Amino acid sequence: MFARSGVRPDVRIRLGPAFARFWLAHGASAVGGQIGELALPLLAVVTLHASATEAGLLGVARWLPFLLLALPLGVLTDRRTRRPILIVSDVCRASLTIAVVVAAMTGALTLAALVALVALLGAFTVAFEVAYQSFLPTVVGREHLESANSRLQATFSVAEVAGPGVGGWLIQTFTAAGALLVQAGTFVLSAVALLGIRSAEKRPEPSTLSAMTQLREGLRYVRRDPYLVALVGFSGIYNLFAQWVMVLLLVHAVREWGLTAGHLGLVFSVGAIGAVIGAAAAPASVRRFGAGPVLVACAGAESIVLAALPLIEASWADALIVVVMIGVFAVNGAGTSLSSVVALTLRQLRTPDHLLGRVNATMRWISYGVVAIGAGLGGVLGDLLGTRLGIAIGCAGVVLTVAWVAASPLRRVGDPNDIARAGVCSGA
């Protein structure tokens, strides 16, 4: 049994009004993102009649900004106060989403225009993701990061429950363009909530180093730390193949299984209940079993269960297909949600504040950047080999995550504070 962290149970910790506003902003942004997760691909598949390769191209456009922009935005985040970056990102995402809606409603939307707008949305999503993870320690303090991350991840999981269901209903009732208009409203709400935060954010000290030197400093810090290398490998392998699977799954579900937007919304909404449970269980799980065993168990659960997807037959009744998919995504969601809380807390505790932006950006650069590669490869293989075989190959790739985590130093981590103290003090 690993040593307990000594942190009080999460329900007893009060994180204050600043966190409440931050929490609202994060939740609104997460709901918007989940609505778009379903609405944008369906807009391409149903309205623009996109092929598997074209659907994959849309995924590339969404995630490629993480490869191209995460590192320079990490440097910017460490050179500037972080709240303004969050607010500008939300305002720009709302504006771009409205542009998609206007183009769709006027008949001016083409696949090329949608890809370009999605790429711009992705750019501001990168900025938001890097800045929010770096701003959180300012809002709650490092001693409450595990509790704060657990609540944020639980909220994201609730968004995964509500977002696709709401998105599916909105798409069927008002079309995909109408659903995207609601998404734009969530970004506006997020920006307003962030404007109300009054936490004193320390302005970074002016640096004499060039942006490129600071960028290399962040990369070097991650490269030299075995725990951060293990964490980025965990998310990188999983995200590569999981996105591969998801790109093909939406196309396969609509064209081969005959599922509707409502069916898919129901699957992702009900299935994501597992993610809510996983996020809420994170603090207690780490205290009881240790961070390492939790990460290994999560890697197994979230990866192996996906292998059920290519076994689903088109001849099955719609209700049976939906039930099986709900079960798969409930288990998968519980594993990904729980492991995300633990991994993010380890990263934040392991990294000194002046490097947080660059370290978060480096992790996002790799772990989310590979999503673009997975989307592209999955789409191409889906057209070459068929969507079902493409999904099966992607599911086999996801299982490599388990081997990576089991062989890494993560498996030996008990109390997260143990490696946090070693990492920050030594500058590993």
DSSP secondary structure letters along 301-365:
HHHHGGGGGGG--TTS-HHHHHHHHHHHHHHHHHHHHHHHHHHHHHHHHHS-GGGHHHHHHHHHH
Within-domain flag for 4: no
pLDDT at 2: 28
CATH of the domain at 184: 1.20.1250.20
Most confident region among 137-151, 349-363, 386-400 by mean pLDDT = 386-400
Amino acid in position 423? G
- The answer, yes or no, to whether residue 87 has pLDDT greater than 50, is yes
Query: So what's the pLDDT on residue 234?
Result: 92
Number of residues assigned to the chain: 428
In a domain, 317, yes or no: yes
Average pLDDT over residues 90-98: 93
| 2 domain-assigned | no
- Which position has the higher pLDDT, 161 or 307? 307
In a domain, 9, yes or no: no
User: Within a domain: residue 109?
Assistant: yes
Structural domain boundaries enclosing 228: 16-199+208-426
Among 367, 405, 372, which Cα is nearest to 130's?
367
* 66 vs 297: CA distance, rounded Å: 28
Q: Structure pTM?
A: 0.67
Instruction: Evaluate whether residue 7 is within a structural domain.
Output: no
pLDDT value, residue 7: 35
Residue 3 is assigned to a structural domain of this protein = no
Mean pLDDT over 215-227 rounds to: 84
Confidence band, pLDDT 50/70/90 cuts, at residue 205 = low
Q: Is residue 6 part of a domain?
A: no
Question: How many structural domains comprise the chain?
Answer: 1
Going by pLDDT thresholds of 50, 70 and 90, the confidence category of residue 12 is very low
**pLDDT tier for residue 209 given thresholds of 50, 70 and 90:** low
Q: Give the other-Cβ count within 10 Å of 317's Cβ.
A: 8
- Residue type present at position 109: L
Instruction: Specify the pLDDT at position 132.
Output: 80
